[in-house]
Amino acid sequence: MTAQNDSKVFSLLGHKPSLFVLFFTEMWERFSYYGMRALFVLFLTSEIVNGGWAWSNEDALKLYGWYTGLVYLTPILGGFIADKFMGYRKAVALGALFMTLGHAAMALETPVFLYAGLACLIIGNGLFKPNLTSIVSGLYDAHEEKKDGAYTIYYMGVNAGAFLGIMLCGYIGEKVSWSYGFGLAGIFMFLGMLQFWFGRSIFESVGLVPKEKLALDDIDDELEDHAEEVVDQIKVSSKVTKDRYIVVGILAFFTVFFWAAFEQAGGSMTIFANKYTNRILTGDSALIFKIVDTAITLIPLLIITWVLYKLFIQTFKKISLSNSILGCSFVIIWIIVLWKLNREFAADTTEVPASWFGILNSLFIISFAPMFSKLWESKYNPSAAVKFGLGLILLGFGFALLAFGSIAIPQGAETASVSMMWLILAYLFHTLGELFLSPVGLSYVSKLVPAKLIGVMFGVWYLAIFLGNWSAGQLGGMIDQITANYSLTTFFLIFTVVPIGAGGLMIALNPLLKKLMHGVR
């Protein structure tokens, strides 16, 4: 492909416009997922007088662990169904529909509908998650050198959705009504489904039903390049293929340790924010927080809106209905954001929502992802093992800060007023660790695995994340027991020592993994 053609194909911020359609699709799905997740444990553990169900921390976190785990287990089946029967596009759309129904069910706030809603969300994620990622992979199969950057930008969409979902669903759920918070998540999942389906023509011939895909092979030059690459991969010796599968297995194994600690964010760290953190602000402190909150709300939203504008310039004539739905979604977002900010400035005392701290991860991702994207495309791009190792070490250091900040909390204490700075710093280091590991993991799976099995192997990758998320719920549920018998510092030290140890071991394995990857960077 010539440089002139490259400039046409990669015409939006150095990437394909179709990548940004997927960016916004994933953004709305993550809006719904993280918006609901921000409320889930808080709703279950809140007192009945406050509209909650008064569950114990242990029971709430165990259910949280099963849910956040299973949404990553079902992609194994979802990837297989799409690869063999439905194609990626139809699987994504059907998954989005299931998730819309799931959020609607949870908004009814009854035990039957809670479990029915969770079931729909788990099934929907199975169809949605691996297959949208596979479309990204397919768009860049002929441009391997841009995959790391593409996945990092895509991951920015993940976190843009998480940022907006936690901020708005969390705020409305805690301040207005749990039902409204859960319902808002469903509304934007529905809009995301429509935006994706009416914009599907921009994905070239990637993600079609297998038979339709074969019929278009002779009219799409880029797909022909992809087909040649598949042939080349098939010719790779069985030993090389086996070695690369071993690398994927090792990376997946260490991913379990990462997510078991990282997913404390929606569980024990949310409980820490709710019960052990000073969230009541008055006077100058309240004013400063309002100003900072306004800035960190508006600046990322302005950046995302600017990306939306750039997408409209490139694609509005081609996918006008999709872009119109996307534009209306952002109008609704801006109305809710301005209402929220006005409501908070009118109040004399500020109580920071416990769910608010969850937006910090997304905020830091949005801030640092472009820098990491450029780094992975430069000569300073480290190997997979080094990236994974550093990610785990940074994660552990974040928990070390929480352990230190909790030293003054007495053994068995049920409440405290620790400074918010410890949580803020912890989220910063957790985010840096995530950027080293999570989006890069997806990219390495796509590079190491034969293209014809990419959907299934993404599902296997999510199996590791299932184990990590499930473990997070089981371990997080021990917070009351460990705090009563030892201390809250001891609890957080567990999540300090294990990731740092795993990270050091991963870096030590770097020479072996580079050999097993047989030239893949």
Asked if the structure places residue 9 within a domain, the reply is no
Sign of CA dihedral 515, 516, 520, 521: negative
Residue span of the structural domain in which 327 resides: 16-517
**Which residue type does 308 have?**
L
Asked if the structure places residue 404 within a domain, the reply is yes
For residues 53 and 45, what is the distance between their CA atoms, to the nearest angstrom?
6
Task: Classify burial at 280, counting beta carbons within 10 Å of its beta carbon; exposed 0-12, middle 13-18, buried 19 or more.
Answer: exposed
Nearest to residue 462, comparing CAs of 264, 189, 251, 266? Answer: 251
Nearest to residue 365, comparing CAs of 309, 427, 307, 422? Answer: 427
Asked if the structure places residue 3 within a domain, the reply is no
> By the 8 A CB rule, do 207 and 131 touch?
yes
Show pLDDT as tens, one digit a residue, over the chain (521 residues). Answer: 555 555 566 767 778 889 999 999 999 999 999 999 999 999 999 989 889 999 999 999 999 999 999 988 888 888 889 988 889 999 999 999 999 999 999 999 999 999 999 999 999 999 998 899 889 888 888 787 787 778 778 878 888 899 999 999 999 999 999 999 999 999 999 999 999 999 999 988 888 876 555 444 444 444 444 444 444 444 556 788 888 888 988 999 999 999 999 999 999 999 999 999 999 998 899 999 999 999 999 988 998 999 999 999 989 889 999 999 999 999 999 999 999 999 999 988 899 999 999 999 888 887 887 788 788 778 888 888 999 999 999 999 999 999 999 999 998 888 888 999 999 999 999 999 998 988 778 778 878 887 777 766 776 787 898 899 999 999 999 999 999 999 999 999 999 999 999 999 999 999 999 999 887 77
Asked if the structure places residue 150 within a domain, the reply is yes
Asked if the structure places residue 413 within a domain, the reply is yes
For residues 158 and 122, what is the distance between their CA atoms, to the nearest angstrom?
18
In the 8-state DSSP scheme, what is residue 62?
H
User: For residue 357, what are the contacts with CB-CB under 8 A and spacing of at least 6?
Assistant: 269, 270, 273, 277, 420, 423, 424, 427
pTM score:
0.85
Domain of 66, CATH number, reads: 1.20.1250.20
Asked if the structure places residue 5 within a domain, the reply is no
Asked if the structure places residue 513 within a domain, the reply is yes
For residues 17 and 2, what is the distance between their CA atoms, to the nearest angstrom?
18
Residue 15 CB neighbour total at 10 angstroms: 21
Strand partners, 351: 280
Total domains in the chain come to 1
> By the 8 A CB rule, do 258 and 499 touch?
yes
